[in-house]
A and B are shown apart, each in its own frame.
Chain A
Amino acid sequence: MISFRYKEKGTAIHKLNPFCKLVWVFSIFVLALIFNNPLYLLLLFLSTLPVIIAARVWREWASLMKFALYLCLVIIIINALVSYHGSSVLWQAPCSVPLMGTPVITLEAIFFGVGMSLRLLTIISAFAILTFTIHPDDIMLAMLKMKLPYKSVLVTSLSTRFIPTLIDDVERISDVQRSRGLELDRGKLMQRIKSRMAIIVPLLSNSLDRTVQVAEAMESRAFGSGEKRTFYKEVKLSKLDVPALIFGFLPLALGTFMRWWGQGDYRYYPALEKISLDGFECSMLALLLFLLCMMVSLAFLKKRIELD
């Protein structure tokens, strides 16, 4: 369970301002959804790789990708089975199936599935950057700065903080129960569930008591007494963060603009379109990629300047 979480690695990407990374991930997410063209999606996917490598999280990323590939397989199979709009038939079922009619597998449907898999991989890869390189507290802070309701954000950040404590509790309780002769991995499914509940129920009553303490601690620090709260840790935008933030937003703006002019669209059905880009489209695409890759170089530049 603990494998896909933030770890401090101190790379240039980890040290970059969290707002920049959040904006960048959001840009990739929206761009991957509004573009249909598989070439664009592939390039978007490739543009996330330098960040993964620079942040040295490729091992975690690879294990996440294994899971994503399974989802891709599902997407390809289902699209191939349900879509009859393609014109080049590869295989036709000998008989009809209830609910599905006569299944036909077309080349277009398979390619559509591949295109959509690229979209999924791009999105998951972008979110991997969010999970692995941004500290949960920083995400909370960013949510506060976006003027999300304060108490809800506070609940989330309190909860993130209590996770390690409660994990310790779980371990302690299971040690205690084991020493009293509880066998966790014995017996049938029902038995296993029952023995595991011997951990959950003490955990429940134990941590509910802790709730009172937390509420008291908050009261004693005069929670809710003033209109505005103060922060122990401030995230400040340094001189280099502002361009990084702008470079996070620029790809989104440029991509929306390109899509407005009908670029990046692609029709899979009824027959596969040929991907042809004229000079203008090529240069726009190159500019988009350049902007997306600027984040890594800015991160390194920032680290370089801080070292000097």
Chain B
Amino acid sequence: MRKSYLCLVLILVIGIAAFIIPLFPQSPLNSFINWGLTATALVILAIIAFFFEFEAAAISSKEIALVAMLGTISAVSRIPFAVIPNMQPCTYLIICSGYVFGPVAGFMVGAVTALVSNFFLGQGPWTPYQMFAWGLVGVSAAYTRRFKPDRIWLIIFGAIWGYLYGWIMNTWFWVSFIYPLTLRTFIVYQLNSIWFDTFHAIGNAIFLGLFGMKTIAILERFRKRFSWGIHDRADLPFNLTN
């Protein structure tokens, strides 16, 4: 059995338990139904599940070096843009990497970007959520390849992720610090960050519109060069892509 399924089973168990335990108000377990804690546990388990997938997908040192380098580039690319608030090329670089190298690599690049840049920006309870959100950016970008998106669709895709990323990040805050947890408070809390998310979305759209195709071309060329082999089964990095 694949180890990532074990994480999925655990996610299911925790999720179901979180719904069943409040039905028994007498149980002392109720004091541990804390949504902030539960949500963090679920997100961490999801990340570990992807890590196990990567363990199976990365056959050689090539994939490891590639993902590490792409993650570093996108973490470092935050520096020249630090003066422009919330306009950071991370998301766009993760989208391009996921698009070219496939879902598993995309997730890993996103997760590594968040974890590593936080060693320099400050770790916190938000780290797993950033890893998860950026990871999903990479995964979803890989699946857009099927539709052969042109520049306009890439721009729309990036803009949507600008908002979705903010929503995922806000969710932890909302479940941990806001009461009551209703749709209304959720919407009010999301509205609070709408400006930041809009800037993020605009930034993604600009980056993808101006440089998306160029970056994808650079990465594509590198993928071809990197995966050259004489065997009939050329060990393509992440042969899930094609």
- Chain A residues with a Cβ under 8 A of chain B: 1-2, 4-6, 29-30, 33-34, 64, 71, 74-75, 78-79, 81-83, 85, 99-100, 112, 116-117, 119-120, 123-124, 127-128, 130-131, 136, 148-152, 154-156, 158-160, 162-163, 166-167, 169-170, 174, 184-185, 189-190, 192-194, 196-197, 199-201, 203-205, 207-208, 210-212, 214-215, 218-219, 223-224, 256, 259-262, 265, 268-269
Interface of A is mostly: helix
Q: How far is the CB of B12 from chain A (nearest CB, A)?
A: 20
Residue contacts A-B, CB under 8 angstroms, 24 given: A4-B120, A30-B37, A34-B34, A34-B37, A75-B173, A79-B178, A82-B178, A112-B179, A116-B176, A131-B124, A136-B119, A149-B54, A151-B54, A151-B55, A155-B71, A155-B108, A163-B116, A170-B79, A185-B83, A189-B84, A194-B210, A204-B218, A205-B222, A219-B61
Residues of B within 8 A of A167 (CB): 76, 79
* Residues of A close to B67: CB separation below 8 A: 155
Minimum CB–CB distance for A35 against chain B, Å: 9
Per DSSP, chain B at the interface is helix
Q: Which residues of B contact A (CB under 8 A)?
A: 3, 28, 31-32, 34, 36-37, 48, 51-52, 54-55, 58, 60-62, 64-69, 71-73, 75-84, 87, 89, 108, 111-112, 115-116, 118-125, 173, 176-180, 184-185, 187-189, 192, 206-207, 210-211, 214-215, 218-219, 222, 226
Residues of B within 8 A of A1 (CB): 78-79, 82, 120-121
Among A148, A211, A259, the residue within 8 A (CB) of B32 is A259
* New contact pairs (19) apart from A75-B177, A166-B76, A207-B69, CB-CB < 8 Å: A1-B78, A74-B192, A79-B179, A82-B178, A131-B123, A151-B55, A154-B64, A162-B69, A162-B72, A163-B76, A163-B120, A193-B210, A194-B210, A201-B214, A214-B61, A215-B60, A215-B61, A215-B62, A218-B64
Taking a contact as CB atoms under 8 Å apart, the answer to whether B80 and A33 are in contact is no
Q: How far is the CB of A156 from chain B (nearest CB, A)?
A: 6
Residue among A116, A156, A260, A268 with most chain B CB within 10 A: A156
Q: Are A33 and B176 in contact (CB under 8 A)?
A: yes
B179 touches A160 (CB 8 A): no
Please provide the 4 A-B residue pairs with the shortest distance between their CB atoms, ordered closest to farther: A218-B61, A158-B68, A4-B122, A214-B65
Whether B119 pairs with A78 at a CB distance below 8 angstroms is: no
Whether the Cβ atoms of A159 and B178 lie closer than 8 Å is: no
Contacts of A154 in B (CB 8 A): 64, 68
Given contacts A99-B184, A149-B48, A201-B214, contact A163 B72 (CB under 8 A): yes
Interface centre among B51, B58, B65, B185 (most CB of A within 10 A): B65
**List of B residues within 8 angstroms of A158 by Cβ:** 64-65, 68
A152 touches B51 (CB 8 A): yes
- CA gap between A259 and B30 in the complex, in Å: 10
Question: Are A4 and B69 closer than 8 Å at their CB atoms?
Answer: no
Q: Which residue of A lies closest to B186 (CB)?
A: A82
Contact assessment for A155 and B215 in the assembled complex, using a CB-CB cutoff below 8 Å: no
Cα distance A149–B84 in the bound complex, in angstroms: 36
B123 near A119: Cβ-Cβ < 8 Å? no
Choose among B51, B84, B214 the residue that contacts A148 (Cβ–Cβ < 8 A).
B51
Chain A nearest CB: distance from B85 CB in Å?
11
For the complex, give the distance between the alpha carbons of A197 and B73 in Å.
13
With contacts A158-B64, A162-B69 taken as known, whether A205 is within 8 angstroms of B188 at the C-beta atoms is no
With A75-B177, A207-B72: A100-B188 Cβ-Cβ less than 8 Å: yes
A205 touches B218 (CB 8 A): yes
